Amino acid sequence: MFKSSHLGNLYLYSLGRYALDVIFSLINVTKGQSILLPRLICREVVDCIKEFGAQPVYYDVTRRNLMPEISESNYSSAKAVILVNYFGFPQDLSQYSTYKNNSSVVLIEDNAHGYLSRDVRGEYLGARADYGIFSPRKTLTIPNGAMLYIRQKDRVNLPRQPECTPAILTYKQSLKKLLRKRNSWGNLVLGGILLTKRLLWMFRFPKNNSGSGLSPLRIPINPWSGLKETLENLDEEGESSRRRALYIHFEQELVGIGYEKVFEKLPTFCVPYGFPFYSDDSQIGPAAAIARKQGLGVMKWPDLPDSPEGELPLYYRQLYLINFQV
Ligand SMILES: Cc1ncc(COP(=O)(O)O)c(C=O)c1O
């Protein structure tokens, strides 16, 4: 996608949450305004909204296909609506375009999970709404890298492109890259690391709810200096085929032993982040073992905000992903 005609409308950052911050500045989000977003979301997105003093207003998504359940009245009173292409699977934006004709709401396509993915008409996800965010750092092993897409540049103040700065892979990223060169020793060590990580996660210290709840931004906004070149030189077709083939493989294997997949089918042109499925924490072992055979790991998503409003549907807490990042 980086090679396409969209290029002039893209700005580079280190993390997707910065791209969201920039959108909120450009559209003048102010204290008390409401931002509509799914309750199935990671804390970083909610933190961005709170940083601006705005009010997150949540909608739910369905168990099958993670489709938004938004009422038109909610929609039209919001300053902006965030729609998420979960795991690179396209949301159908058509109904929102219809609502939009009757209001000044800003539509933001959160495509942090879906770099390279397109909808069935062949349109790149993240470039279909007023603004889009991307986080290719999630799917490619790079030190950092995210993007902001602005659909109609002539109508808004434009952001300043932050200077690119050198960065290196963290030790964790380098280790993973090394170990994922597939051989049985590598897989064994990687399995040990993932298991330790999982145990640490299970016994992590209780979260401190007394503060603002905002997670610290640990790295500066500046994108990695190698980002543009890496994206320009990426074998997009090869990477897309690799991900689609892995999805089909894991779909067969996991559904075959009784796991429930999240999406009914893999749409044409969809380039998945990984294979999403539901599992109880206690039942994750066989899936993790199958992923390990391909040198891949299993992760739980999302890291939900500390105090989401109301009772969350149970399946929000049972969502797992075989991560195809290598
Ligand atoms: C759906 C979604 N949107 C936005 C973000 C923010 O992206 P980043 O971690 O690159 O800041 C994340 C992950 O944290 C995410 O999962």
Domain range for 313 is 171-220+234-323
In a domain, 227, yes or no: no
Mutate to test the pocket of ligand 1, among 135, 138, 139 (most ligand atoms within 8 A of CB): 135
Q: Is the predicted pLDDT of residue 123 greater than 70, yes or no? A: yes
**Nearest ligand 1 atom to alpha carbon 19:** 11
Read off the pLDDT band of 326 (50, 70, 90). confident
Report whether pLDDT(192) > 80: no
Ranges of beta strands (E only) in the chain are 10-13, 34-38, 55-61, 68-69, 80-84, 106-111, 131-134, 146-150, 260-261, 274-278, 297-300, 319-323
| Total domain count, the chain | 2
CATH of the domain at 245: 3.90.1150
> Which DSSP symbol is given to 185?
H
Residue 15 lies in a domain: yes
Query: Which residue type, as a one-letter code, is found at position 160?
Result: R
165 assigned to some structural domain = no
- Residues 189 and 78 placed together within one structural domain of the fold: no
Can you tell me which atom of ligand 1 is nearest the CA of 110?
3
**Whether residue 68 sits in one domain with residue 120:** yes
End position of a domain, from candidates 124, 155, 186: 155
Cα–Cα separations (whole angstroms), residue 76 to 27, 79, 228? 16, 8, 37
Q: Is residue 229 part of a domain?
A: no
Residues 246, 106, single domain; the answer is: no
Residue 201 predicted with pLDDT over 60: no
State whether the beta carbon of 144 lies less than 6 angstroms from ligand 1.
Answer: no
| Residue 23 lies inside a defined structural domain of this protein | yes
What pLDDT does residue 40 have?
A: 97
- Write out pLDDT tens, residues 142-154: 999 999 999 987 7
Say whether both 298 and 191 belong to one domain. Answer: yes
**At residue 188, does pLDDT exceed 90?**
no
What pTM was computed for the model?
0.88
Cross-strand pairs, 152: none
Segment 235-253 shows an average pLDDT of 98
Q: Show which of 125, 155, 185 is a domain's final residue.
A: 155
Helix (H/G/I), strand (E/B), else coil: 6: helix
- Say how many Å lie between the CA of residue 39 and the centre of ligand 1: 14
The pLDDT of residue 44? 95
Do 186 and 300 share a domain, yes or no?
A: yes
In a domain, 132, yes or no: yes
In a domain, residue 162? The reply is: no
Percent of the chain clearing pLDDT 70 (strictly above): 85
pLDDT band per the 50, 70, 90 thresholds, residue 191: low
Q: Would you say the CB of residue 19 lies under 6 angstroms from ligand 1?
A: no
Q: Which residue minimizes the CA distance to atom 4 of ligand 1?
A: 112
pLDDT of residue 51: 96
Average pLDDT (259-279) is 98
Does residue 70 sit in the same domain as residue 203? no
Order of all β-strands in the sheet with 10-13:
10-13, 146-150, 131-134, 106-111, 80-84, 34-38, 55-61, 68-69
Residue 104: φ, ψ to 5°: -100, 15
pLDDT at site 170 = 76
pLDDT band at 194 (very low <50, low <70, confident <90, very high): low
> Among the atoms of ligand 1, which is closest to the Cα of residue 137?
10
| Statement to judge: residues 150 and 184 lie in one domain | no
Q: How confident is the model at residue 7 (pLDDT cuts 50, 70, 90)?
A: low
The answer on 199 and 84 residing in a single domain is no
- Which atom of ligand 1 is the closest one to the Cα of 86? 1
Q: Cα separations (Å) of 183 from 180, 188, 254?
A: 8, 9, 22
**Which comes out higher in pLDDT, residue 65 or 205?**
65
Does residue 206 carry a pLDDT above 50?
A: no
The pair of structure tokens assigned to 130 is 């007023």
88 lines ligand 1 (CB under 6 A): no
Same domain, 131 and 254: no
Are 50 and 214 contacting, i.e. CB atoms less than 8 angstroms apart? yes
The CB of 84 under 6 Å from ligand 1? The reply is: yes
* Mutate-to-test residue for ligand 1 from 21, 35, 41, 42, highest number of ligand atoms within 8 A of CB: 42
Average pLDDT, the chain: 88
The stretch 217-238 carries a mean pLDDT of 93
Do the domain assignments include residue 160? Answer: no
State whether 117 and 203 are in the same domain: no
Q: Indicate the top mutation candidate among 17, 61, 321 to test ligand 1's pocket, ranked by most ligand atoms within 8 A of CB.
A: 17
Q: What is the pLDDT of residue 67?
A: 96
Q: Is the pLDDT of residue 183 over 80?
A: no
**Residue 198 — pLDDT band, cuts 50, 70, 90?**
low
Atom of ligand 1 nearest to the CA of 301: 16
For residue 132, what is the domain's CATH number? 3.40.640.10
Question: Each residue of 15-32: pLDDT tens digit?
Answer: 999 999 999 999 999 999
Residues 126 and 262 in one domain: no
Question: How would you list the strands of the sheet with 260-261, edge to edge?
Answer: 260-261, 274-278, 319-323, 297-300
> What is the Cα–Cα distance from 162 to 228, expressed in whole angstroms?
13
**Same domain, residue pair 180 and 108:** no
Ligand 1 center–CA 111 separation, angstroms: 9
Q: What's the pLDDT at 195? A: 66
Per-residue tokens: 322: 């075989």
Q: What does the pLDDT look like over 65-110, one tens digit per residue? A: 999 998 877 787 899 999 999 999 999 998 777 777 767 899 999 9
